[in-house]
């Protein structure tokens, strides 16, 4: 496992509600620097909610969200981005009428230095050469896989310390899923700290260092991804093994 082996991001007893409905129930988890941590679970388990509360799109009713020693639970989303957390949401959500270049440029608004923005653009086009071929093309005309590449690249443009990916393989053809996971592995090799929510449990556990299982808004299992991959409960519920 790579990285500093220290907690970069930590949820401490976090509960979140949608009105009267509890979405997260007193969950705690740790994301270590340089590690890829994955959240797995069925639809509606609270995985996406966990990412939204970290990025400031939702407010916890109780608990702390500690990033780099700071409680960010009440900070605005733009402030959280400026501190170094970037969220690539489920469903890609590119700006369809804007060009690929314009989408990427918007991802770098937290970078004040023009040189840093230009360097980020060069890095993303090297990581995603297909986007380089489509810089002037409207994002809405890209294929689903290309839009997912653009969404990840846009999230990386701000040079985040923590990258959160929500269902990056959702709705993609198997060949494109493989390519997206090659990119995730490359980011991991560079030491990027990643928090991954992913429907493909096989793929998630193969690439992750640590994993948490969410069920009905609660953490029911946690441990190394290698151990959870061979846990009988995980095998039966998510890996299709009896």
Q: What is the pTM of this model?
A: 0.91
Q: Per-residue pLDDT tens for 161-174?
A: 999 999 998 888 88
Q: Which of 181, 232, 235 is nearest to 36 (CA)?
A: 181
Phi then psi for 15, rounded to 5 degrees? -120, 140
In angstroms, rounded to a whole number, what is the distance separating the alpha carbons of residues 89 and 198?
11
* pLDDT of 51 higher than 60: yes
CATH 3.90.79.10 fits 1-84+160-242, yes or no: no
In angstroms, rounded to a whole number, what is the distance separating the alpha carbons of residues 185 and 191?
10
In angstroms, rounded to a whole number, what is the distance separating the alpha carbons of residues 65 and 68?
10
pLDDT of residue 5: 65
pLDDT of residue 241: 62
Q: Per-residue pLDDT tens for 68-98?
A: 999 999 999 999 999 999 999 987 789 999 9
Q: Sorting pLDDT into bands at 50, 70 and 90, what band is 2?
A: very low
pLDDT of residue 114: 83
Q: Domain map of the chain by residue range?
A: 1-84+160-242, 94-159
Mean pLDDT of the chain: 92
Q: Per-residue pLDDT tens for 88-128?
A: 998 778 999 999 999 999 998 878 788 888 999 999 999 99
Task: Give me the mean pLDDT over the 218-235 stretch.
Answer: 93
């Amino acid at each position: 496992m790579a990285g500093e082996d220290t907690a970069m991001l930590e949820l401490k007893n976090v509960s979140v509600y949608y009105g009267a409905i509890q979405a997260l129930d007193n969950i705690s988890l740790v994301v270590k620097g340089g590690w890829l941590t994955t959240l797995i679970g069925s639809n509606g388990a609270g995985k996406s909610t966990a990412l939204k509360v970290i990025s400031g799109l939702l407010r916890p009713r109780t608990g702390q969200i500690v990033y780099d020693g700071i409680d960010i639970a009440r900070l605005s989303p733009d402030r959280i981005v400026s501190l170094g957390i970037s969220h690539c949401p489920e469903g890609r959500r590119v700006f369809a009428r804007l060009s690929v270049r314009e989408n990427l440029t918007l991802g770098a608004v937290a970078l004040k230095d023009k040189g840093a923005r230009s360097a980020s653009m060069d890095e993303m086009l090297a990581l995603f050469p297909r986007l380089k071929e489509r810089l002037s093309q409207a994002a809405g005309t890209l294929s689903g896989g290309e839009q997912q590449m653009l969404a990840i690249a846009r999230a990386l443009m701000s040079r985040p310390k923590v990258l959160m990916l929500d269902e990056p393989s959702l709705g993609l053809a198997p060949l494109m899923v493989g390519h997206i996971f090659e990119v995730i592995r490359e980011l991991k090799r560079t030491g990027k700290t990643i928090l991954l929510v992913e429907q493909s449990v096989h793929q998630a556990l193969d690439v992750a260092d640590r994993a948490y299982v969410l069920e009905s808004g609660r953490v029911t299992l946690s441990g190394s991804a290698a151990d959870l991959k061979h846990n009988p409960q995980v095998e039966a519920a998510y890996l299709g093994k009896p």
